[in-house]
Amino acid sequence: MKVTINDVAKHAGVSIKTVSRVTNNEPSVKQATVEKVNEAIKALHYQPNLAARNLAGNKSYAIGFIYDNPNAYYIIDMQNGILEACKSKGYELVIHPCNAKSETICDELTALVKYSRLAGLVLTPPLSEDPKVLKALTEIDAHYVRIIAGEKDNDSNGLTILVNDKFGAIEITQHLIDLGHKHIAFLSGDLHHKSTKERLLGFKQALTNNGLKLDKNYIIEGKYSFESGVDGANQLIKQKNRPTAIVACNDEIAAGALFAARLAGLDIPTDLSIVGFEDSPFSRQTWPKLTTVHQPNAEIAQVATELLIAKRREHSATNSKTFTPEPVIRDSSTIPKQK
């Protein structure tokens, strides 16, 4: 026979309402009561019906994860981080991939919030950086947290997780410069992602900081994909004065560049150093393993979700948090080969 909330209440010697308040993580319940109810839940192996709870009453216990990103590892890390926060706070996760370039994206997301009865949304780039999307969600009083690339938040009224991609790009480019590289190229990701722009800014800043000239032929536009890395590296390798090092906008691009370089007969890193960004599994699955920039995506997503739930429940005053990516030095970068 299935254990019900009535059984838990009877076992703990409290009211059904009190059990409900405990399972909903309401902060006003005394700690002693919380412990008593949780002991009863554990003893009876009670599992609250979160879906039914979400449909009952006026409160919602579902968080939506909204994304448009081709990088499967990024999505999985984000999903795991959000799910960890949801489980600990008694919420469910609704996953909603979409096309950020769609003309109906605003209608799609506002309909999702209304008809799925979401407590809030975790928005990732490029949706989290789209003023039209943010305006549409604000107009229906939707709660959301944005994960965006940047050094500071220009929207002080919104919940924001900042990822200082520019700093990470400065540091990884500086690593190559410190090794002695002066001819460094950059393989770009999708330009409609702010992270691409921030990482390119950091790359350029590092060159400027060290008095190095920027060669426009070394800046290759592309996408966040392995194939883009292959195409971009081939363009660079064919140049008369090819670079001695490449900064790729993410690890997937870097893995593609490494593949193309080895097919062209180049030794990595002796003939060409290649570094990535994000520290995804791609960086550890290549040979040699990629020097990269560590970006804790699962932790970023978990903190974003916790911030969103805390704001909904406790009217928390915390509106933002900044993550600063740091270089991880592995085997794909070394001193340049003397010509």
Q: What is the pLDDT confidence band of residue 315, given thresholds at 50, 70 and 90?
A: low
Q: Is the pLDDT of residue 259 over 60?
A: yes
**Do 159 and 300 belong to one domain?**
yes
The more confident residue out of 3 and 206 is 206
The pLDDT value given to residue 261? 97
72 in a structural domain: yes
Q: Is the pLDDT of residue 1 over 90?
A: no
Q: Is the pLDDT of residue 316 over 70?
A: no
Q: What is the pLDDT confidence band of residue 26, given thresholds at 50, 70 and 90?
A: low
Mean pLDDT of 304-332: 86
The pLDDT value given to residue 231? 98
115 in a structural domain: yes
d(CA 316, CA 64): 20
Answer for the pair 195, 223: CB distance below 8 angstroms, yes or no. no
**Do 75 and 172 belong to one domain?**
no
99 in a structural domain: yes
Alpha helix positions (H), the chain: 5-12, 16-23, 31-44, 50-55, 72-89, 105-116, 131-139, 165-179, 194-209, 226-237, 251-263, 282-285, 297-314
Q: Is the pLDDT of residue 235 over 80?
A: yes
The pLDDT value given to residue 161? 94
The pLDDT value given to residue 64? 92
H-helix or E-strand containing 245?
A: strand 245-248
Half-sphere exposure of 38 (CA within 13 A, CB side): 10
Beta-carbon contacts of residue 25 (< 8 Å; ≥ 6 apart): 89, 90, 313
Q: Is 45 left (phi over 0), alpha (psi -120 to 50) or beta?
A: left
Q: What is the pLDDT confidence band of residue 88, given thresholds at 50, 70 and 90?
A: confident
What 3-state class would DSSP assign to 278? strand
Mean pLDDT of 257-272: 96
d(CA 131, CA 47): 40
The pLDDT value given to residue 215? 93
Structure-token pair, residue 119: 């407590």
d(CA 200, CA 223): 13
The pLDDT value given to residue 54? 46
d(CA 317, CA 74): 29
Q: Rounded to a whole number, what is the largest CA-CA distance in the chain?
A: 81
Structure-token pair, residue 219: 């800046």
Q: What is the CATH number of the domain that holds 40?
A: 1.10.260.40
Answer for the pair 112, 86: CB distance below 8 angstroms, yes or no. no
**Do 183 and 244 belong to one domain?**
yes
**Do 116 and 20 belong to one domain?**
no
42 in a structural domain: yes
**Do 219 and 243 belong to one domain?**
yes
Residue range 30-70, pLDDT digits in tens: 788 878 878 877 787 776 655 444 444 446 678 999 999 87
Residue 66: beta bridge partners?
Answer: 96, 123
The pLDDT value given to residue 165? 96
What is the DSSP annotation of 131-159? HHHHHHHHHTT--EEEEEESSS-S-TTSE
Q: Is the pTM of this model over 0.85?
A: no
333 in a structural domain: no
Kindly state the DSSP code that residue 240 receives in the 8-state scheme.
T
Residue range 140-197, pLDDT digits in tens: 888 999 999 988 776 555 789 999 999 999 999 999 999 999 999 999 999 888 999 9
**Do 177 and 319 belong to one domain?**
no
Mean pLDDT of 10-26: 74
**Do 248 and 318 belong to one domain?**
no
Answer for the pair 288, 268: CB distance below 8 angstroms, yes or no. yes
Closest CA to 145 of 81, 223, 196: 81
129 in a structural domain: yes
d(CA 141, CA 101): 23
Average pLDDT of the chain is 88
**Do 158 and 304 belong to one domain?**
yes
Half-sphere exposure of 11 (CA within 13 A, CB side): 19
Q: What is the CATH number of the domain that holds 249?
A: 3.40.50.2300
**Among residues 254, 275, 294, which one ends one of the domains?**
294
300 in a structural domain: yes
Number of domains the chain contains: 3
Beta-carbon contacts of residue 105 (< 8 Å; ≥ 6 apart): 98, 99, 127, 130, 132, 133
Mean pLDDT of 252-277: 96
**Do 236 and 204 belong to one domain?**
yes
Structure-token pair, residue 310: 């805390």
Which of the residue ranges 15-19, 69-73, 114-118, 202-206 has the most confident prediction, judged by mean pLDDT?
202-206
The pLDDT value given to residue 115? 80
**Do 184 and 282 belong to one domain?**
yes
Residue 65: beta bridge partners?
Answer: 95, 122
Q: What is the pLDDT confidence band of residue 7, given thresholds at 50, 70 and 90?
A: confident
Q: What angle, rounded to 10 degrees, do the helices at 31-44 and 5-12 form?
A: 120
Structure-token pair, residue 209: 């900081």
Neighbours of 199 (CB within 10 A): 29
**Do 157 and 176 belong to one domain?**
no
d(CA 283, CA 248): 11
Q: Is the pLDDT of residue 327 over 90?
A: yes
The pLDDT value given to residue 114? 82
Residues in the chain: 339
193 in a structural domain: yes
Q: Which domain holds residue 93?
A: 62-163+296-325
**Do 155 and 222 belong to one domain?**
no
